[in-house]
Structure 1
Amino acid sequence: MNPPLTTWPTYDKGDVFLSPEDIAAAMEALRAQLFFRYDFRPHEETFTGLFERRLCEVFGARHALACASGTTAITLSLLALQLPAGSPIACPAFTFAATPSAILLAGHRPVLVECEENLHLDVRDLRRVLDEGAKAVVVVHMRGFASDMPEICRLAEEYGAFVVEDAVPALGARLDGRYLGTFGHFGAFSTQSDKSLNTGEGGFLLTDDPEAYARAVVYSGAYEGRMARHFPGQVPDVDDRAFPIFSFRMDEIRAALAGALLQRLPDRLVAHRRNYDYVAERLADLDGIALRQPVAPGAYLGEALVFRLPGAAPRECAAFAGAVMAEGVDARALGDRDDVNVRAFWNWRFLLGDDPDAARSLFPASARYVSEAIDIPLSANLTLADCDRLVAAVRKAAARRPAAETATAATTTTEKAVAAGRAASR
């Protein structure tokens, strides 16, 4: 069902991880002509209710709520925490623009935290932000790589701050055997087109807190007593008339598709990990690049290959990405000044104003590391021959770099050794 590999496969070109059974599930929901999740049926007999119950079983969470997007899942999580309006909320400088957008949507103020050389949230800088009064931390497992959740949760507990995990880019990844999105007070996920569960749009949240969950359910659009359907036993004492309703619900058609896809999630995770490990192993000895290192062994999804060109200017990184693309492999220099890339925080005019240089000066470490980063999407449908094509493209681009640009190889090797030591020490 996938198009032939004439171009590098990505979701926006029609690359999907679907089976006939997945399509049949969506068609079943269409034929039922019951598209609203709150109809006459008991909650547990709806596609959305079944999907939520299965999510709880898979992730080991007490409560799950299917909603309209990963952004709304983050927003609902923050709303459910009942923080004072306008509270400062920490989030990493390296993330997609949806993360600070969700904080704003919840009525709060995003406060950015620097990232370190592996593009993970810098826990040392997080302490600075918590010292300044941040009430919660939205941690992002960006491009499928886990943040250091044990240390972040320990630090947040020290300050009495809540933790919301933006696991939108890391659905199914684990850290020390535990699913990302289950460490914090809430975990927020996406089922948008390029995620591990692809329903076009959609998302869900997980939590073990019944009262906070009930508030999130009401905010999502469960009015006139519908919140109680989510609790087969005792219903929390939450007044559904005390909160606005935002219609952030998932519909039955998407829920049917998501439920079917969830059955094959392990297959997709295996494919991502196989492709990533194959490529990373064959690029590990390449001088002049610094492969992103996980915070612990195996703590990544594998749906994207991210590496840095330490010391390279943005134009040099853009040229490298262009050389890879010339070989038929999609690549993006995240710091390309000619590419309006909303994973680069200096392009968030809604938050940091119109001067990108001024924005970069506020977070110099993040500006440096993001500017050096190259991002290559890894479809779960790639074959090992496709992976060989990627490896050859990166090696060819690296060989074409002028000697002056590869003079940082010794620094790169040192960074790799330091990162490996950190991971081994966990």
Structure 2
Amino acid sequence: MGNVFQKWNSISLVKRIIGGLILGAIIGVVAPSATVIGIFGDLFVGALKGVAPVLVFFLVMSSLANHKQGAKTNMGRVVVLYLVGTFAAALVAVIASFLFPLTLTLPEAATGTTPPDGVGTVILTLLMSIVQNPLQSISTANYIGILAWAVVFGLALKNASETTKTFLNNVADAVSQAVRWVISFAPFGIMGLVYSTVSTSGLSIFSDYGKLLLVLVGCMVTIALIVNPIIVFVNIGKNPYPLVFKCLRESFITAFFTRSSAANIPVNMALCESLGLDEDNYSVSIPLGATINMAGAAITITVMTLAAVNTLGYNVDFGTAIVLSIVAAVSACGASGVAGGSLLLIPLACSLFGISNDIAMQVVGVGFIIGVVQDSFETGLNSSTDALFTAASEFAQWRKEGKEIKW
């Protein structure tokens, strides 16, 4: 049995995940009634979501408590990259919507959902999340609150005894090891997730909403393969594609099927560790990215809003569309890191054009219909970019210091 596990672990995780992906698709087509397979996916996502808040809290707190005075940090650059990337995504979505104007066949309004009243509401929600009870933040996976309290406790423990700091390090290491164990089961989890998607949704969604999906996915692919590489090249001064493809291969795949940036935090942290990045930096930047780095969400909000505008026959000049891209970028930063988190921000953007809430919620309904594909690509882009920009920021510092950049 030990030899079996050794051989299993000796195979690249990416290859194992691809194998699980193919197997899940085959079972989904051949035996769509074998619902027990889907349980593997539910267990995997549940385990990731369960351990991620604890991982973030202890890693950030331990890193700050043990941070040496004068040690360099690159968080400022990471945040700038997150914001630039999100705005660039909204801008690409505006251009694509003008080049390929879309109209929608609106279904009945989505029910059981309440959109925010405006950008102010989104910002207020973010501020209230910061001061939420720390235990409640961990239990509800409120990463803004987790980060805020981890920073507070970490700074408060900077003058603690070495024994206390060692204890924090040991706890952080133990949680990290638990995460590695969970990630080792990723092939089975991906198999279950792919099976559930294929067996329940099939391919009909592509024929019903093909053009809308093409524009959405096309924008996301443009960001992933053209815009993001340009941003990375500007920072590191060398061919960015090996790093881009590594992040897509090791982060995008799991995020695509879990459809949760929050659940993908442990995967991104493991990726950053494999790249040799500083844990003090990525333990903060990765969970922060899962909250504010929302290029995919900005694309979804912009494309869906302009499609609603076209459907109603409104005329929108390019300047107004640029204002929309700014609002979409700001709003996207308030999108939750869970499946469908960006859709409820569409009414906010629609309100810029005087579109009624009833119509806007029907647009949200379209979003839920195509969510199996749209949200998967959106989350994959968002989450893989978290790791990409974290790496690019640190490699930029290495470049300045004359260190060799390799991955």
TM-score range, shorter chain: under 0.3
Greater helix fraction, Structure 1 or Structure 2: 2
Larger RCO: 1 or 2 (CA < 8 Å, sep 6+): 2
